[in-house]
Structure 1
C-alpha cells in the first residue's frame, strides 16, 4: 500500500478517498464502482440510525456492533457469498483507512474473525470424501494438470496465487538438476516448502514481470510441501517447458500459450475439464454443485480444520491471519506448522 497522503486523518469523505486510492493501486473502474456502491450503502445505513445510536453515525464513528448490525440486515436479502463479499469490502476499507492513519481502528476485524468461523462450511456444497478425491487425482495423467490440481488441493491456495508462483518460490530437496536459478531467502533454509507472497497485484511488476493476476493473501506464507506434492512437482519440473518470462513462472502453458505463465482462466479450465469428466461440473451449475479451483480451497480448509482442531494454523496456511498470529507461526514454523500439517493433511496419491 502507498504512504498516507498529507491530511489523511482529516479527509471530508473517507469513502471517496479510499476509492481514489484503490484506483491508484491499479484496480479497474468496475472494481472501484463496486467498492463505492457497497460503501455508500453502508454509509446510508449508518446515517439512518442504528440500534446503538438512533440519530445515526458516520463511517468514522462506526463500531463493530454497527458493522455486525448492517451485515445481519443483509441476511435473507442477499446470498451468503454476496454478504461475504460486502464484508470483505468493508474490512479492506477500514483496514486501509487505519493504515493511512485516517481512522483509529478497524471495527471489522472482530466481525471478520466471527465470520471466518463459518468460512467454507456451507452444507449445500457438494460433499466429497478423501477417497473420492484420491480417485479423481489418480485419473489425471498430464504432468501440468496433475501438478496444478495437487498443488491446489495440498495447499488450499487460490488460483491467482498459484498463477503468480515463480520457480524461486519453491525449494525441493529432490529437485531435478538445472531447474533452479535462485531461491527466495524466505525458503532457502526450509527445504520442501513453498512461498506464497502477498505482493503480486494486477498491473504491478514483481520479479521483473508485470502481473495479470492479484494475490488476495493478507500476509506472506511459507507452506510445507509433503512427499506427495514434492513427487508431483519434481515430475512437472522435469518436463516443464522453458518459460517465456525471465521471472521463471512455476506453472506455464503446455498447450495454448506454450511457455507462458498460466492465467486464472487456464487453471479454471484445467480443473473444470477434469471435474466434468467425473460428473462434478456442469455449465450453468452453481457453487453447490460444481467443483472449481475454489472448491479445492474449501475442501482443504474443511479437512484441516476438522483434523487439526487448530484454527490458527489453518488460517496461517490460508493466509487469512493478522500479523501477530503470522509472527507466532513464523517463529515456530518448523516445529509446529510443518509437523501439524504433515500429520494431518490427506493422502492423495496411491
Structure 2
C-alpha cells in the first residue's frame, strides 16, 4: 500500500473512481473529496495508529472531528468533511467492505447560516452603465464577464465551461451545465445578447481565427478562460464601486438572486435560474431580503428608532 498522505489517499482510490466515473461529479468536488479523505487518513495513521482508515470506528472518527473543531476550522467546513465521510462509508457498506456504518452515530454540527454577501443595486448599475469599458477585446470581454455573472447568476465554473454552442441565437438564452451535470436554461436580456454578439465579432477579429472556438470566454491570448483570470476581472472592477471585503464571482451570483427577490421575483423561479436542487438552498436569500426591509424600515419610519 502506498503511504497515506493528504495528496495520496490511496486507501480510497476505488471510491474516488466511483464518484468520478459513475457519479460524474465535478473536478472541483472530486478534489475536495480526495483532500478530505487524505487528511482523514493521515489523522488515523498518526493519531490512532490505524493504517486502514476504512476500518475506523465511531470513536476514532469523532476524535478527528473534534480535532478539526479545536483547530478553529469553521463549522460549515467541518460539516462538508463529515458529508465526505458519509459518502465514503456508505460506498464501503454497499461494497461490503464493512458491515456496520460508523457514520450513523455522527451528527453534523449546528452551524449558523451566513447571509450572502451582495452588491447593492445602485453600485451595480453604476458599474455596468456608467463605468467606461474600452472598446478593445479585453475591455469588451471584461464587461461581458460581469454582465453574464450578474445577469444570469451562473457560477464561476459554469461561466468558464460555457461554450459558444450553448448560446441560442433564436430563443436568446444560454444552456448552462451545472452541478451533477444538470443542464438548465437561462434567458438573456436583449442588451446582454447584443454584447455577446459584439464580443464574438471582436474575438474573431482580434485573433484572426486562432482563438479557441469551443469556449465562449477566452484570455488575452485566445485560450479558454481559467478561474484566476475571472476572479481578477471581477475584483478589479468591483473595487471601483464597492468597499465590500469580499469581491468574487459568487458575490455577483448572490447579487443577481437578491435583486430579483427584492423586486418581487418568485422564489421557485430564482431556484430554477440558479440551478439549486432544492428550495432550501434558495431560501437563504429571503433572509437577506428581510434584512433589507428592516434596514429600510429603520431609516424611513418616524418611530423606528424611538
Q: Under a length normalisation based on structure 1, what TM-score does the superposition of the two structures give?
A: 0.52
Whether the aligned pair in 1 keeps the contact of 2:127 and 2:241 (CA below 8 Å) is yes
More helix by share: 2
Deviation at 1:269, TM superposition (A): 1.5
Q: Is it true that 1:248 corresponds to 2:214 in the alignment?
A: yes
Cα deviation digits, residues 256-309 of structure 1 (max 9, x gap): x1x2211111111111121234454xxxxxxx6121112112212333344456
Deviation at 1:315, TM superposition (A): 2.5
- Rounded to whole Å, the distance in 1 between the matches of 2:254 and 2:82 is 19
**Cα–Cα, structure 1 residues 302 and 77, in superposed 2: closer, same or farther, change >3 Å?**
farther
2:246 matched to which residue of 1? 290
Is residue 192 of structure 1 aligned with residue 158 of structure 2?
no
Change over 3 Å in CA distance of 1:219–1:20 after alignment to 2: closer
Aligned-partner SS, 1:135:
helix
The answer to whether the 8 A contact 1:16-1:36 is kept is: no
Which residue in 2 is equivalent to 1:165? Answer: 162
From 139, 152, 171, the equivalent of 2:149 is 152
Q: In structure 2, what is the Cα distance between the partners aligned to 1:92 and 1:305?
A: 34
- The whole-number CA distance in structure 2 between the counterparts of 1:75 and 1:307 is 43
Once the two structures are TM-superposed, the CA of residue 168 in structure 1 deviates from its matched residue by 0.6
- The verdict on how the C-alpha distance between 1:223 and 1:74 changes in structure 2, with shifts beyond 3 A counting, is farther
Measure, in 2, the Cα distance between the counterparts of 1:277 and 1:169.
Answer: 31
Which TM-score applies when normalising by structure 2? 0.58
Match of 2:301 in 1: none
Conservation of the 8 A alpha-carbon contact between 2:156 and 2:249: yes
Q: Does 1:36 align with 2:61?
A: no
Moved more, 265-274 or 77-86: 77-86
2:115 corresponds to which of 114, 121, 125: 121
Matches within 5 A, 1:297-336: 297-308=253-264, 310-321=266-277
Tell me by how many angstroms 1:194 deviates: 0.3
Change (3 A) 1:165 1:304: same
TM superposition shift of 1:121: 2.1
**Given the superposition, is the C-alpha separation of residues 292 and 231 from structure 1 closer, same or farther in structure 2, using an over 3 Å criterion?**
same
2:276 is paired with a residue whose SS is: coil
Q: What is residue 135 of structure 1 aligned with on the other side?
A: 126
Q: What corresponds to 2:58 in structure 1? A: 47
Partner residue of 2:99? none
**1:217–1:319 Cα contact (<8 Å) kept:** no
Q: Give 1:156 shift.
A: 1.3
Asked if the contact 1:244/1:260 (under 8 Å) is kept, the reply is: no
Do 1:121 and 1:302's aligned partners in 2 also have CA atoms closer than 8 Å? Answer: no
Largest Rg, 1 or 2: 2
CA drift of 1:164 comes to: 1.3
Corresponding pairs, count: 235
Give 1:196 shift.
0.8
- Going from structure 1 to structure 2, the CA distance change for 1:32 and 1:144 (only over 3 Å counts) comes to same
1:232 aligned to 186, 190, 195, which one? Answer: 195
Shift of 1:49: 10
Q: Which runs of 5+ in 2 are unaligned?
A: 1-10, 44-52, 97-102, 134-138, 280-306
Aligned 1:201-212 pairs, distance under 5 A: none
Task: Report the alpha carbon displacement of residue 45 of structure 1 after superposing the two structures with TM.
Answer: 9.7
Counterpart CA distance in 2 for 1:131 and 1:263 is: 29
- Residue 151 of structure 1 and its aligned partner are, at CA, apart by 0.2
In structure 1, the gaps of 5 or more residues are 1-13, 51-55, 57-69, 174-190, 199-215, 281-287, 326-350
